[in-house]
Amino acid sequence: MTEELRTRVHELLERTPPQDVDPIDFLRARFDAGLAWVHFPVGLGGLGAPRALQAVVDAELAAAGAPDNDPRRIGIGLGMAAPTILRYGTEEQQRRWLRPLWTGEEVWCQLFSEPGAGSDLAALATRAVPGPDGVWTVDGQKVWTSTAHTARWAILIARTDPAVPKHRGITYFVCDMTDPGVEVRPLRQLTGEAEFNEVFLTGVRIPDTDRLGAVGEGWQVAQTTLNNERVSIGGQRMPREGGLIGMVADTWRTRPELRTPELHQRLLAHWVDAEVLRLTGERLRQQLAAGQPGPEGAGGKLGFARLAQQLTGFEVELLGEEGLGYDDWSFVRPELVDFTGREAGYRYLRAKGNSIEGGTSEVLRNIIAERVLGLPPEPRTDKDVPWKELSR
């Protein structure tokens, strides 16, 4: 299979030389050749091959100087929307959305969290009401929405039946962010940026053909999204000393005047933690090769958040006054987060959000305890109470 993939890559390069065509045209041709994500079905950017063989394709194309799809810019689409569409979407939905999602022509965002439903996501209050014309009308507010200001589409969960317990009255939709009822407002962060947004939905019309899964079963569909989100945040493939630990270790090696015995011991402990997390991520990806991510991904995301905050704090302490520098406090709206191209002070501030985004660390600990370790669940008095009877 490996040689067959290499042959397909070379045929693609001959038909569509990357140096001679527009990058988008090359990416479209790559998708059509089944070399976008090889484990996806034929006709949807893949070949039904083992997931692990994607590395073979990526290496061959990188060696040829072919453009990639800038995965960090479209990470929500790739890591969260696409697996959900593949599992629950109709054939028409898959063919409509997956190709421009993968090529980066259409950016996606996630309309899940709300001001009163963050850690307890199932308590969400955004309503979707069906109309006689087969169109749902959605009203509500979402918050902490990354890339909403650049997105064309959003994955959205809304309450469609308030008379049943909170987990059972939710439906999953795809929302057109260009609808006139969608208002995106920036949220200024501790870093001075507005990477996140709050989104107001007022009379937004969503055709029933843009629903994923059955009415009232949105919570089950959302679990696919959330499990993939945790893996995409905490399970990224890294080389040894990749990411933040590599940056801190490089500073340690090139700046001997900063070293102390106490800092040395702490850096070694962080290095070991980073290596354990990397190897655990490799094992998790091998387990995922045969199916959908499960609750185990919560461990990777939890470890990533903890380590990122420890490393950025260590880096600031190592650099002393120099580590407090942060050149750009201006109000900007970036398209993606860039930890590696910024100052230590920025990384320290931005890492504070790692234990919130993608599921708070407290919630992830509960998931690990209950769904991975099989420990008794916490008491939940609202489990069987209709949502409309809950105090808010």
CATH number at residue 226: 1.20.140.10
Indicate if 389 belongs to the active site.
Answer: no
Contact 200, 211 (CB under 8 A): no
Residue 192: left if φ>0, alpha if ψ -120 to 50, beta else—which one?
left
In Å, how far from its chain's centre is CA 235? 11
Tens-binned pLDDT, residue by residue, of the chain (392 aa): 789 999 999 999 999 999 999 999 999 999 999 999 999 999 999 999 988 899 999 999 999 999 999 998 999 999 999 999 999 999 999 999 999 999 999 999 999 999 988 888 999 999 999 999 999 999 999 999 999 999 999 999 999 999 999 999 999 999 999 999 999 999 988 888 888 899 999 999 999 999 999 999 999 999 999 888 777 666 667 788 888 999 999 999 999 999 999 999 999 999 999 999 888 877 776 666 555 666 767 888 899 899 999 999 999 999 998 998 777 666 677 766 666 678 899 899 999 988 888 778 898 899 889 888 899 988 888 888 999 998 87
Total number of domains in the chain: 3
As given in the structure block, the two tokens for residue 298 are 């919560």
- Give domain status of residue 387, yes or no: no
Same domain assignment for residues 359 and 234: yes
Q: How far apart are CA 376 and CA 160, in angstroms?
A: 31
State the pTM of this model. Answer: 0.89
Ramachandran angles phi, psi of 212, nearest 5°: -110, 125
Same domain assignment for residues 208 and 227: no
From 167, 198, 216, the end of a domain falls on 216
- Give domain status of residue 102, yes or no: no
Ramachandran angles phi, psi of 143, nearest 5°: -145, 160
Q: Domain range spanning residue 38?
A: 2-68
Same domain assignment for residues 337 and 282: yes
**Contacts (Cβ under 8 Å, ≥6 apart) of 374:** none
Write down the residue that tokens 């880096």 correspond to: 315
Q: How far apart are CA 348 and CA 319, in angstroms?
A: 12
Query: Counting beta carbons within 10 angstroms of the beta carbon of residue 250, is it exposed (0 to 12), middle (13 to 18) or buried (19 or more)?
Result: exposed
Annotated catalytic residue, options 60, 114, 229, 315: 229
